[in-house]
Structure 1
Amino acid sequence: MNKPPLKRLRSRSPALLAAMAAAGLGAQPGPAVGQEAALEEILVVGSRIKRVDEVSSSPVQTLGEADLRINGALSLGETLQTLPTVGPSLNLNGSAGTSHGTSSINLRNLGENRTLVLVNGHRWVNGAGTRGFRDFVDLNTIPQAIIERVEVLQDGATAIYGADAIAGVVNMHTYRTFEGSRVKAYYGQSGEGDRESVGADLLLGHSFGRSNWMLALSYVDKKPIYSQDRELTAIPLNGLAAGTPEGLFRESGLAGVVSFPVPSAGITRDPGVDGSVIANWRPAVSATDRFNRYDNNYVVGPLTLKSVYLQNLTEMGDTLEFTLEALYNERESDQLFSGAAPVVRGGSRGFVIANNPLVNPFGIEFSGSDFRIDNFFEDVGQRDNVQKVKTKRIGAGLAGAFGNGWEWDGFLSWAENEGTFTSVNQVDLDRLALGMLACDTSGIAGDVSDLASGCVPVNMFNPLTPEMVDYIRFTGRDVNKAEQIDFTVNVTGDLLELPAGMLAFAAGYEYREEKGLDTPDSYINADPRVNTYRATTSAPRDGTDGKYDLNELYVEFDIPLLRDKPGAQELSLQAATRYSDYSTFGSTTNSKLGLAWRPVDSLLFRSTWAEGFRAPSILELFEGLRATSVPVDDPCSGGGAGLPGCAGVPATYVQPSANVPATVGGNPELQPETSENFTLGMVLTPTALPGLSVTLDWYNIKIDDTISSYGAQNLLDLCAATGQRCNFIDREASGEIANVIDGPINLNKTEVEGVDMVARYFADTGVGTWNFMLSVSRLLDLTEESTLPDGSVLVVDKVGTAASREAYPEWRSMFTTQWNSGPWSANYKLRYIGDTTEEPSPGEFRKIGAVTYHDLSGSYAFDNGLLVRLGVDNILDEQPPVSLTNLNINFDINTYDAVGRFFYAQLTWDLGM
């Protein structure tokens, strides 16, 4: 039957899904795994050529609706992060060093910024984040309710899609059309009674003649889990913090006031006693006068998502169609921390406690260079970093046919991610300093009239009164946005007929513009006027304002070499190249070759070679200078003053804190990272066992000029040992590190190698249909070559290792079983993360055991369209393994499930219009 080109392509879509299910992870029941249809109608995934009668040379996994809903996940990130090919990824676990509410996917353990995320084949805008913008897509901005299937291309695809597709591509497909209405309601909570999660979706669709409209409303709300509510995280394994809410006070003048020797740790009082009575003070004991700064922090953070999505597909005749996509998404998340803990001291930071009974019971002024207070401002309240992010995107496209099998399409989209980031319960250090002076402005050179107005004397030796708290409490607000404009046009068709088939061709053009704007709170960045440190306890930073644009051209060929020959049922070559011209670093050209050989009907061999690149992100290029802190071991401390780079450091100097100040910023001279990918694999669909398909793929990826930094520790070590690069380090007269300057440069190399196996079996039996899937990934090599400041190279193989917020087990796997019989269905999922070894201190190695999770769910479909699903994730309540390299929270937040056993119920009701 002859059909118009566009209708002919659409009519094949069931076969496309069947083909992808056989080659990947798709779990659609029924005849989706018939081998002949699958092999003959495999879509060339990762290609712009619209042909379905060619085999693919690239490895791809496909997740259908059943896969996406096999467990209690309410977001795409939760589901995708369980794939064995995905490494440590950002999620909602933890407070310190976390995702700040974002969710990412990290294919091949190469980082989320080396995985390209598409929706319906088009780029998605990068996420918003603290200090500016992310260089990856936040999966929380894509509502799961609209996604019909997800394709995961596990191969380099820069020649087809452009930058960032080094590790692979994740392409999410919305429902092409939808008829009727679907209502979903979801409720879940952990076995401990927390992590209460609520979800609701409304999906409406209707066709008006040849125009189909779809509207989706989505809501997700997840409550947090607190550190004290889990045994593993109640107490940090690195011990409690030096300092208390009552404060540890040091001042040389105290020796003549108190009746006991003043230790180096200072003096303190017990909780609840009157600090105005000198006799209530005692010597501080550094080993015991400590505070659990991680109490009441989040083990898993809260999240609220609200989304509206509108889509239209209109057939404008037999050879022309129009598409429209519009999204509005809101995300709200936050992270809890202890009360602010600034180091309040005299000397270089300029703090003074006046000799005034309103603020000081000791009758002496605290002002010397040795004056210091280690104090947690718990009276002010826990610090809370709150993110409110709005994502807006609209895209429109046309697709048509010229005739003779030639087709074209064009798409234009605009997207914006705008975030407001609020820092609650910070401390205004200038107001604190003035309050400690009992509001005496004499001797202050600058204009502090705004601070003096309503000034409240602040007595640090007793609990702060509500009036004091109101005076010194500060809330900061930063605003940033990422904006993207993307235009693509493609044309594809058959160039000529060769003896083995048609030579297919695709070519296209893309224009893209990326912008980023970060506006920090102006008061945080203001110069201090009463102290000499900074204005607030929030770290100051310069704003960021940057953009770049690019133009790209590509061409792709699918060349049939042999067909229906002995030993070669099919042999084809795929070739593509892409030219990219960036306004920042210039131009680059990247190519790809793929070979697919089927010696017999049931066996396919495939291989690819690809060049790729990752363009420097706006944050890496243009980030304004910002203050931060980093953990280091100062080589000049504790007797190291005699080293060549430690001249001027007192011999008695001892590093007072593990974290030291640092300054980082962008580098507009950065060049792109470059990569080379190889894959070699096979697909087996034995005719002797219908329903079985097995894929096996080896991969190797090498990346040069990876964007990194020397690191504060390496700079300190080189300076101390050789005197080189000491200009990157500033010190106080006491020897204490005042600042380390670091930033991004093209510095390192990375190589990853591994093997993936996916086996699927479908069977239709007398007791229902069964879908089995086993996915196994083995990591053979993950080598990072780091160039040190002295020019030497440090090579580290990370396979089987674990460190802070990253684990690289040699083995990961997943097994699923899906059973359907009439209205009944049941699903089982096993997730396995292999063992690793961590090095909590040099030369000390510790094994972290393997972890296995079991998920189970079942459903019943009523005749009226109502489906009820009940499930339990992590049935055995497997807890995260203890890690001594993640001491603040005691486990790796980017690798393991922190929720524990989780129960959920979901109602789905499909209704007519």
Structure 2
Amino acid sequence: MQALNVRALCAGTAYAALLTCAATPVFAQTAQPAADTTVEEIVVTGSRIQRKDADGVGVVTTLTEADIKNSGAGSVGELLQKLPSAGVSLSSNGTQGTSYGASSINLRYLGGAEGSGNRVLVLVDGHRWVDGVGQRGFRDFVDLNTMPLGMIEGLEVLKDGASAIYGSDAIAGVVNIKTARDFDGVKAQAKYGVSSEGDGQQYSGIVNFGKRFESSALLVSLSYVKDKPILTSDRDLTRVTLVPATAVGTSPNGLFILPGLSNNAYFGTATGFAASTAPIAFNAGATIGAGSQADNAFHTAALPGDYFNTQAQGIYSAGPSERYGVYTRYTADLTDKVRLKVEGLYNQRKSDQLFSPVQLDIGGTSGTIRGFAIPNSQAFNPFGTANGVPTANALGFAANQAWRIRKVMTEVGNRDNVQDVKTMRVAGGLDGTVSLLGRDWTWDVYALYSKNKINSRALNAINYDKLALGLGTACASAAGCVPVNLFAPMTAAQADYIRYTVVESNSTSIFDVTANITGELFQLPAGPLAIAAGVEHRTNKAVDNPDAFVNTAPTNIPTPASGSTFASNTSTTGQTRTPTRGEYSLNEAYVEAAIPLLKDLPLAKSLDVSLALRYSDYDTVGGDSTGKIGVGWRPIEDILVRGTYSQGFRAPSILELYQGGRQTSFQGVDPCNGGAAANASRPGCVGVPTGYNQANYNLNGLIAGTIAGNTKLKAETADTYSFGLAVKPRFAPGLSATVDWYQIKVKDAIASQSATQILNLCAQQGGVFCDLVTRDASTGAITNLLQGAQNLAEIETSGIDTTIRYEFSTDVGRFAAVLDTSYLDTFKTTSPNPTGGAPIVDERAGKGDQPRSTYPHWKGQASLTWSLGSWNALWRGRYIGDTTDVANTVKGAKTDSIFYNDLEAGYVFNTFETAVSIGVSNVFDEAPPASYANAPINYDIYTYDARGRYMYARVSAKF
């Protein structure tokens, strides 16, 4: 192979735009080799062409091994999510989110669902990775927590469309993870961190073994990471929901609406006692009196005495996780022109999310789950014959009566979702050189198979079928039945009887074969015309196996088949989901060219054009082609002017096509709160009772809903434009600056409107916009919200990225300063109006008024590093701008900006190159800005974290 000097290499890799050999513009920098150091030809993310003058026109951010180590991050996802160009991404493993232990990267906010990142292509050494899995079905994006940290030596982030180079999913950009290079010896690293509150501990360790032989090399990498939880009750911000209580909510003392107790002469109760307008609660610690004294153990529930804080019930702001990983690679030179590479990986993640106990809400013709009955002879009915009440005065509560019991089931225990995710990957290929047309060409053939599988459990759910049996007369004759007491604390035996564990599994897999060739066709006056070409075949599969019993109809509760208007069709508190499986295959071919047009001319130090064309043929949506053109012009050596236009293409994923209909709970604020009278200008609120508040229904206000796939989806397309300027003035060595404008338009975008968007459209427009929202006619409570993927009209986003960097040496050490900012100008979704009117435009830039959807206009990072001899230190700053919030009377309709500060210092010993560092993240213990839209946890867990000040120590060595 030919060689090139480092200056040329740097111009095409880390910050091609900066015209400088830098690492990331955010993290610590290391000294660079001398200008005459030579290296081999390279391939940079954003191009398949292997060339010696690797100048590129796309913006590539490169993070080195040192950057990863010095970032203070405990995972790849945490590192990438701090980039200013990253939008809301799955993180934190908290109870209020849907990450379930997974981690994603969502560039430009273009992920299809909250934080999913399914429009970002994640590669490892230029090859695809298997899709993620989840607690409630498989995913359609890469879970970064399936990658052992020790295998990673660097990352490249292309913030540009690259479908013409890499195929589907690269609309928002590409993340290429580079694996560790071959070496001789052992590299080890250990790290421990803990918050200033003494929680959120993290333990991590990496050991890499390397051995070079005469014509081969072996690498074995072992990784371990363990994160401990942070409870919402241990932070002021998350201890109590921001949404004020306007009515008595659910508590362990219960909330009872019981017909017959109002103005009951036998029990001596007042008018309205236990009525729907005056439910009663159990007196904590009381003993229920016999006969006519039974009512004395209950009181009419009222605030503030009956307020109950579900946030203090062991809920996670950040959940625990434990990851083990091993990565191996063997390479061998079969001949002087052919090399073999074989890889293997196994990774396991165990994680869980703790929730408050089930908030039961059952009844006859009232309640969330209906069709229950409690006869007057039930063993624990305090108003029945078993408690000494005469038959003539005994009260029973039939399935066709409007009775209701709401209760936090503390005796059953906190709900706990537990995941065990195993990832396996085997891959191998050949690469080498061959002489064609009188020139040397580089080629490679590569194949991989990978499978991701999760076994999940949802502990401490409730079996409605057993509960119905335990409340009824048939319990006495049913084998093993335990009569259940819902009026006072249950016994352990009763809790065990109705407790249920939901057991499920799902998996994804990928089989991928690629072949590529790159070389120079002929010489032009300004340089060689280089091309790359290749073909690819890929098959993706996914299977979802939900709990069979959860999806069966109950036998002890009336079902819809019975024709009853008060029927229920759910057997447990587990969310129903239909089993599903799906797959798709595709064949692709591409060609790419790098064309130098001008060189060393007045006002044209260089002028280069890059072209790419790819054709993709899916067995689900057919074929389509995408193209890309990029232009880089240097009027003088100090300045690069560049621009790109690229077409994007994304076929619907298996999840979007085949996801089985599943129950879920959406987070959101109902715009019809207060009822129709308080929302007279909102036609969709007509019929909602006065005083209604969704927070009083369905698990503390979470909105019951259904999500489903859509087999009629078609592929989405995109147009991406970028224009930028990079300056590295020769009169100021070490100084560089870039500014880049981008615009991305996604047409026929596959997306699901958020629960808040659906509710707002229904409230404000009424009519057909309310077809997706089902309410209880008597209470106004939302009983189901349907959310499904569809080809929306268009998503458009645009903004500006800016980077300034300055490196210099002084008598007191070497310094490197970096400022990296991103301005989000617009992010809007334009959807067709079902009524035929003007399209509906939802502009999100600058807003944060939806759960886990914060879109600040400004985000930025800065760093200042210093090194002198064996000593080094760094400061990092990270800024997230303010956004709008839901209009409310509690905190104002704004989510404040925040600025985090981090510090780190280290020393490198000569013995075994031992490096010791200590650091503090979030030095000033900044809490996330309060967000009413994200109640009850009160902040966007995908944009901020509630960890607070965090101290860590790290030691590494080479043997």
> Take 1:330 and 1:248, find their aligned partners in 2: how far apart are those partners?
43
> Take 1:57 and 1:18, find their aligned partners in 2: how far apart are those partners?
10
Counterpart residue number, 1:235: 240
For the 8 Å contact 2:674–2:690, the answer to whether it is kept is: no
Give yes or no for the alignment of 1:805 onto 2:855.
no
- Matched position secondary structure for 1:338: strand
**1:636: how far off?**
12
**1:456: how far off?**
0.5
Between 255-264 and 421-430, the greater mean CA deviation after superposition: 255-264
Give yes or no for the alignment of 1:899 onto 2:947.
yes
Give yes or no for the alignment of 1:466 onto 2:483.
no
> Take 1:883 and 1:738, find their aligned partners in 2: how far apart are those partners?
26
**1:453: how far off?**
2.3
Counterpart residue number, 1:323: 341
Between 582-591 and 175-184, the greater mean CA deviation after superposition: 175-184
Change (3 A) 1:361 1:635: closer
Tell me the TM-score normalized by structure 1: 0.93
> Take 2:432 and 2:506, find their aligned partners in 1: how far apart are those partners?
39
Residue among 651, 664, 668 paired with 1:628? 664
> Take 1:721 and 1:172, find their aligned partners in 2: how far apart are those partners?
46
> Take 1:759 and 1:651, find their aligned partners in 2: how far apart are those partners?
57
> Take 1:33 and 1:616, find their aligned partners in 2: how far apart are those partners?
48
Between 176-185 and 713-722, the greater mean CA deviation after superposition: 713-722
> Take 2:406 and 2:881, find their aligned partners in 1: how far apart are those partners?
42
**1:196: how far off?**
1.3
Per-residue displacement from partner, 1:647-671 (whole Å, max 9, x unpaired)? 9979889677355543331101101
| Structure 1 vs Structure 2 CA RMSD | 2.9
Counterpart residue number, 2:416: 384
Change (3 A) 1:141 1:720: closer
Counterpart residue number, 2:511: 485
1:712-751 → structure 2 map (5 Å cutoff): 714=758, 723-724=767-768, 734=778, 738-751=783-796
For the 8 Å contact 1:18–1:32, the answer to whether it is kept is: no
For the 8 Å contact 1:760–1:774, the answer to whether it is kept is: yes
Per-residue displacement from partner, 1:477-503 (whole Å, max 9, x unpaired)? 110001111111101111121121111
**1:339: how far off?**
0.8
Counterpart residue number, 2:85: 85
Change (3 A) 1:84 1:651: closer
Between 397-406 and 467-476, the greater mean CA deviation after superposition: 397-406
Counterpart residue number, 1:402: 434
Change (3 A) 1:14 1:401: farther
Residue among 807, 814, 824 paired with 1:769? 814
Per-residue displacement from partner, 1:701-748 (whole Å, max 9, x unpaired)? 111112234666747965996654776565666475544444211014
Give yes or no for the alignment of 1:680 onto 2:723.
yes
Give yes or no for the alignment of 1:157 onto 2:157.
no
For the 8 Å contact 1:23–1:693, the answer to whether it is kept is: no
> Take 1:535 and 1:522, find their aligned partners in 2: how far apart are those partners?
11
Residue among 167, 182, 202 paired with 1:197? 202
> Take 1:882 and 1:621, find their aligned partners in 2: how far apart are those partners?
37
Change (3 A) 1:879 1:637: closer
- Matched position secondary structure for 1:129: coil
Counterpart residue number, 2:30: 29
1:696-845 → structure 2 map (5 Å cutoff): 696-709=739-752, 714=758, 723-724=767-768, 734=778, 738-792=783-837, 793-803=839-849, 804-840=851-887
Counterpart residue number, 1:447: none
Counterpart residue number, 2:706: 663
> Take 1:739 and 1:197, find their aligned partners in 2: how far apart are those partners?
39
For the 8 Å contact 2:587–2:618, the answer to whether it is kept is: yes
For the 8 Å contact 1:801–1:808, the answer to whether it is kept is: yes
**1:219: how far off?**
0.5
> Take 1:23 and 1:14, find their aligned partners in 2: how far apart are those partners?
7
> Take 1:373 and 1:552, find their aligned partners in 2: how far apart are those partners?
59
**1:201: how far off?**
1.1
**1:14: how far off?**
9.4
Structure 1 spans left out of the alignment, 5+ residues: 443-451
Counterpart residue number, 2:460: 425
Q: Amino acid of the residue matched to residue 287 of structure 2?
A: D
Give yes or no for the alignment of 1:855 onto 2:902.
yes
- Matched position secondary structure for 1:113: coil
For the 8 Å contact 2:10–2:22, the answer to whether it is kept is: no
Aligned length: 894
Between 217-226 and 740-749, the greater mean CA deviation after superposition: 740-749
> Take 1:636 and 1:841, find their aligned partners in 2: how far apart are those partners?
13
**1:287: how far off?**
5.9
**1:39: how far off?**
14
Per-residue displacement from partner, 1:500-540 (whole Å, max 9, x unpaired)? 11111111001111111010011111111112421101111
Change (3 A) 1:833 1:44: same
- Matched position secondary structure for 2:67: helix
1:330-729 → structure 2 map (5 Å cutoff): 330-347=348-365, 349-356=370-377, 358-363=379-384, 364-367=395-398, 368-403=400-435, 404-440=439-475, 452-532=478-558, 533=568, 534-630=570-666, 631=668, 632-633=670-671, 638=676, 657=697, 658-709=701-752, 714=758, 723-724=767-768
> Take 2:255 and 2:486, find their aligned partners in 1: how far apart are those partners?
10
Per-residue displacement from partner, 1:365-392 (whole Å, max 9, x unpaired)? 1224311011111110000011111111
Per-residue displacement from partner, 1:576-614 (whole Å, max 9, x unpaired)? 011001111111111000001111112111110000022
Per-residue displacement from partner, 1:768-798 (whole Å, max 9, x unpaired)? 3322222111122222223344344222322
For the 8 Å contact 1:233–1:889, the answer to whether it is kept is: yes
Counterpart residue number, 1:293: 310
Per-residue displacement from partner, 1:336-371 (whole Å, max 9, x unpaired)? 111111321113721111212622111211224311
Change (3 A) 1:886 1:651: closer
Change (3 A) 1:339 1:578: same
> Take 1:780 and 1:38, find their aligned partners in 2: how far apart are those partners?
42
**1:814: how far off?**
1.0
For the 8 Å contact 2:164–2:590, the answer to whether it is kept is: yes
Counterpart residue number, 2:564: none
Per-residue displacement from partner, 1:774-830 (whole Å, max 9, x unpaired)? 211112222222334434422232222212212222211111122222222112211
For the 8 Å contact 1:246–1:462, the answer to whether it is kept is: yes
Q: Amino acid of the residue matched to residue 747 of structure 2?
A: D
For the 8 Å contact 1:390–1:418, the answer to whether it is kept is: yes
Per-residue displacement from partner, 1:206-253 (whole Å, max 9, x unpaired)? 012211111011111111011111111111111457111111111211
Change (3 A) 1:320 1:193: same
Counterpart residue number, 2:391: none
Between 539-548 and 785-794, the greater mean CA deviation after superposition: 785-794
- Matched position secondary structure for 2:885: strand
> Take 1:869 and 1:642, find their aligned partners in 2: how far apart are those partners?
61
Give yes or no for the alignment of 1:273 onto 2:286.
yes
Change (3 A) 1:650 1:238: closer
For the 8 Å contact 1:71–1:871, the answer to whether it is kept is: no
Change (3 A) 1:85 1:710: closer
Q: Amino acid of the residue matched to residue 693 of structure 1?
A: S
Between 730-739 and 318-327, the greater mean CA deviation after superposition: 730-739
**1:284: how far off?**
1.7
Q: Amino acid of the residue matched to residue 396 of structure 2?
A: E
Tell me the TM-score normalized by structure 2: 0.88
- Matched position secondary structure for 2:887: strand
